[in-house]
């Protein structure tokens, strides 16, 4: 039987902070530490044949080896991953060795006895502390430079970073808190506030990834402020001293039983040199937009496209939760000649500038199915990148800038009121002739039309000032306004627009109604300005309203039959207006001409 040789004298070097690759040591004893609560930890007396260390610990993911009887007395092991760390107040206490990966070289039953006469390493002679040039082990001195961004004098952190030894994310658990991970941020939420029966506060969360796995981390309140700016998607960080707790799988799709919470102790340090380490890049499983049609509802989608159209920023109050949300729908097109609607939320929606028609890369967007169509929504854990510097993006840019997106034929998303791309072109006369609006659901179409008459009468009403209520208020006199819906009296109100106008295309004229936001867009003034002008300044009102006359727009119209008493009227409501995109409108006209005449090439 051949026994492995121990790395004689190596414990003195390791315990003075030197990095030694794969030392071979002998276990002389192992026992369970009586520690608090549910944690299970093992302390080891370990020897290199010359020195011993009685302050060695097993990282808890190795407990299973002890359970299996693999770490008995006299076992020879190779340490594959370990850190040293000072424990005790202010780092002034004892240095311990924490072993997170090891390989059994010879089982204790084979070895049968203690090798050498090891003594404590603390009195080790100088020659044992200097790295040996001829040593078979691969060693290098500890880097002396202080890490940048070190926001805490943290010994575990520094020694781990300097030694290059960090813990895999997959090994983290609530039972072991001496760890440092090196992880890439794959997504980061905005700052969110909450207020409920248990209190209020703010937070942001992030997803972290290394070669072993992924985990979600959340920073609340002070930590939210402290770390929000430092944490950036795609960057790699050393992170230590977070609390771990079981993940609530209901809310997380990440593959980890635990999640982390930043604490006052948490240390985060940017890792700027990531060229040759194994932290994987974020992987994008890009699918062509056309493929989304065939995917399951709620499935996650990574894709890339050009933002061909941008919707207005919209605010609404969720019916069930009463929370206010901001969103913006944009339309992506790609070389599969397909278009899909993507919903942005919160800050992404507010700050989005789509007028330059950027390339949009998304990861982890969710499919929402509606009316047989599918759209994407950028939810928690999703990432959006604007004009990413990747070959696919440059290819798309070239395609689109050469007219590639002008004749997109395949609409993956359903026709919607607000959505624009999928609305069918139709003349006002055809809308009548085809009995649009006579079904159970409204019909939608778009046309190019000129504004002929705008009515100033009843162009506004005084509405409840509550942000989530637009109900007309009753003037009680004495500057008091009653909202029946909110059952409350207010000293003020807000103006809401309800613009009726006659528009015409080359086939006929129709009266249409426009609600507040569209009205503001058409008149170029806020509802407050319009309301005040109509009430107090007729000349100004005339100026505002007449400016709209004889202007042309692309109107997206909702068409529905409505019953008033015994009368049924076919009603048109303006869903949105947009300036005329002549390039695109002409494409439509050419297509119509070709269909009418049968003359012309297919492009």
Partner DNA sequence: CCCCCCCC
Applying CB under 7 A, which residues contact DNA? 189, 192, 194, 196, 198-199, 201, 203, 205, 218, 220-221, 245, 247-248, 251-252, 259, 261, 263, 316, 318-321, 323, 325, 327, 329, 343, 345-346, 368, 370, 377, 379-380, 414, 416-419, 442
The smaller minimum CB distance to DNA, of residues 378 and 534, is found at 378
3-state secondary structure of 266: strand
Classify residue 62 as exposed, middle or buried by CB count within 10 Å of its CB (0-12, 13-18, 19+). Answer: buried
Instruction: Please state the closest distance from residue 415 (CB atom) to DNA, in A.
Output: 8
C-beta separation of 137 from 10 below 8 A? yes
The smaller minimum CB distance to DNA, of residues 12 and 431, is found at 431
The smaller minimum CB distance to DNA, of residues 18 and 329, is found at 329
Query: Residue 501 corresponds to which tokens in the numbers above?
Result: 């106008």
CA Rg, the chain, in Å?
34
Q: Measure Cα distances from 198 to 193, 195, 201, 202, 404 in Å.
A: 13, 8, 10, 13, 54
C-beta separation of 246 from 258 below 8 A? yes
C-beta separation of 187 from 233 below 8 A? yes
C-beta separation of 483 from 470 below 8 A? no
Phi, psi of 430 (to 5 degrees): -65, -35
The smaller minimum CB distance to DNA, of residues 345 and 399, is found at 345
Query: Residue 555 corresponds to which tokens in the numbers above?
Result: 């109107």
The smaller minimum CB distance to DNA, of residues 202 and 540, is found at 202
Which sign does the torsion angle of CA 74, 79, 83, 84 carry? positive
3-state secondary structure of 426: coil
Instruction: Please state the closest distance from residue 446 (CB atom) to DNA, in A.
Output: 15
Task: Tell me the HSE value of 246 on the side-chain side, using a 13 A CA sphere.
Answer: 3
Phi-psi region of 213 (alpha: psi -120 to 50; beta: other; left: phi over 0): left
Instruction: Please state the closest distance from residue 499 (CB atom) to DNA, in A.
Output: 20
Q: Measure Cα distances from 379 to 187, 285, 346, 365 in Å.
A: 11, 17, 10, 6
Instruction: Please state the closest distance from residue 126 (CB atom) to DNA, in A.
Output: 47
**Residue 215 to residue 225: CA distance in whole angstroms:** 21
The smaller minimum CB distance to DNA, of residues 140 and 323, is found at 323
Query: Which residues sit opposite 238 in a β-bridge?
Result: 182, 269
Instruction: Please state the closest distance from residue 571 (CB atom) to DNA, in A.
Output: 14
Instruction: Please state the closest distance from residue 470 (CB atom) to DNA, in A.
Output: 15
The set of residues, in sequence order, having a beta carbon less than 8 Å from that of 537 and lying 6+ positions away, is none
Instruction: Please state the closest distance from residue 304 (CB atom) to DNA, in A.
Output: 21
Instruction: Please state the closest distance from residue 252 (CB atom) to DNA, in A.
Output: 6
The smaller minimum CB distance to DNA, of residues 53 and 205, is found at 205
The smaller minimum CB distance to DNA, of residues 31 and 245, is found at 245
- Three-state helix/strand/coil letters over 485-551: CCCEEECCCEEEECEEEEEECCCCEEEEEECHHHHHHHHCCCHHHHHHHHHHCHHHHHHHHHCCCCC
Instruction: Please state the closest distance from residue 282 (CB atom) to DNA, in A.
Output: 19
H/E stretch holding 137 reads none
The smaller minimum CB distance to DNA, of residues 264 and 579, is found at 264
Instruction: Please state the closest distance from residue 325 (CB atom) to DNA, in A.
Output: 5
* C-alpha of 538 from chain center: 49
The smaller minimum CB distance to DNA, of residues 53 and 365, is found at 365
| DSSP structural state of residue 451 | E
* C-alpha of 478 from chain center: 50
C-beta separation of 131 from 140 below 8 A? yes
Instruction: Please state the closest distance from residue 422 (CB atom) to DNA, in A.
Output: 10
Instruction: Please state the closest distance from residue 377 (CB atom) to DNA, in A.
Output: 6
**Residue 180 to residue 424: CA distance in whole angstroms:** 57
The smaller minimum CB distance to DNA, of residues 318 and 489, is found at 318
The set of residues, in sequence order, having a beta carbon less than 8 Å from that of 569 and lying 6+ positions away, is 561, 562, 563
Instruction: Please state the closest distance from residue 460 (CB atom) to DNA, in A.
Output: 24
The smaller minimum CB distance to DNA, of residues 249 and 485, is found at 249
The smaller minimum CB distance to DNA, of residues 160 and 423, is found at 423
């Amino acid at each position: 039987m051949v026994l492995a040789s121990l790395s004689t004298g190596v414990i003195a070097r390791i315990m003075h902070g030197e990095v030694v690759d794969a030392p071979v040591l002998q276990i002389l004893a192992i026992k369970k530490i009586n520690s608090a609560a549910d944690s299970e930890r093992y302390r080891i007396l370990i020897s290199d044949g010359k020195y011993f260390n009685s302050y060695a610990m097993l990282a808890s993911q190795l407990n299973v080896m002890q359970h299996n009887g693999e770490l008995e007395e006299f076992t020879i092991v190779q340490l594959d991953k370990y850190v040293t760390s000072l424990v005790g107040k202010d780092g002034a206490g004892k240095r311990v060795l924490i072993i997170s990966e090891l390989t059994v070289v010879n089982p204790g039953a084979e070895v049968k006895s203690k090798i050498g006469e090891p003594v404590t390493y603390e009195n080790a002679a100088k020659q044992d502390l200097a790295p040996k040039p001829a040593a078979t082990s691969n060693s290098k001195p500890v880097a002396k430079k202080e890490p940048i961004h070190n926001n805490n004098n943290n010994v575990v952190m520094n020694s781990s970073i300097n030694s290059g030894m960090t813990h895999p994310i997959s090994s983290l658990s609530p039972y072991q808190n001496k760890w440092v991970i090196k992880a890439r941020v794959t997504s980061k939420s905005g700052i969110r506030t909450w207020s409920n029966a248990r209190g209020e506060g703010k937070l942001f969360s992030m997803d972290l990834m290394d070669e072993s796995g992924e985990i979600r981390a959340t920073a609340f309140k002070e930590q939210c402020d402290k770390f929000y700016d430092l944490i950036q998607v795609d960057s790699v960080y050393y992170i230590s001293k977070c609390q771990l707790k079981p993940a609530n799988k209901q809310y997380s799709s990440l593959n980890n039983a635990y999640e982390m919470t930043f604490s006052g102790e948490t240390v985060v340090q940017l890792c700027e040199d990531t060229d040759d380490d194994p932290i994987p890049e974020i992987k994008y499983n890009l699918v062509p937009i056309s493929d989304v049609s065939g995917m399951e509802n709620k499935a996650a989608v990574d894709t890339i496209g050009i933002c061909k159209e941008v919707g207005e920023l919209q605010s609404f109050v969720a019916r069930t939760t009463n929370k206010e949300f901001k969103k913006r729908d944009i339309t992506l097109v790609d070389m599969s000649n397909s278009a899909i609607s993507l919903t942005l939320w919160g800050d992404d929606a507010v700050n989005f500038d789509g007028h330059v028609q950027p390339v949009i890369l998304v990861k982890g967007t969710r499919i929402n199915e509606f009316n047989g169509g599918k759209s994407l929504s950028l939810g928690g854990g999703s990432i959006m990148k604007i004009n990413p510097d990747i070959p696919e993006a440059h290819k798309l840019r070239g395609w689109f800038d050469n007219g590639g997106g002008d004749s997109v034929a395949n609409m993956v998303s359903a026709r919607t009121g607000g959505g624009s791309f999928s609305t069918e072109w139709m003349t006002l006369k055809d809308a009548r002739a085809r009995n649009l609006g006579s079904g159970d659901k409204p019909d939608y179409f778009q046309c190019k039309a000129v504004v002929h008459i705008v009515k100033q009468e009843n162009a506004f009403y005084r509405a409840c000032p509550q942000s989530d209520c637009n109900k007309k208020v009753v003037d009680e006199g004495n500057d008091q306004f009653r909202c029946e819906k909110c059952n409350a009296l207010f000293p003020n109100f807000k103006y809401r627009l309800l613009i009726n106008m006659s528009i015409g295309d080359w086939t006929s004229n129709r009266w249409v109604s426009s609600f507040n936001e569209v009205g503001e867009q058409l008149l170029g003034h806020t509802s407050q300005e319009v309301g005040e002008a109509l009430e107090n300044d007729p000349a100004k009102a005339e100026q505002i309203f007449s400016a709209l006359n004889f202007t042309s727009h692309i109107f997206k119209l909702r068409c529905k039959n409505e019953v008033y008493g015994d009368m049924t009227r076919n009603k048109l409501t303006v869903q949105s207006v947009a300036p005329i995109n002549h390039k695109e409108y002409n494409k439509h006209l050419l297509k119509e001409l070709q269909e009418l005449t049968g003359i012309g090439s297919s492009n």
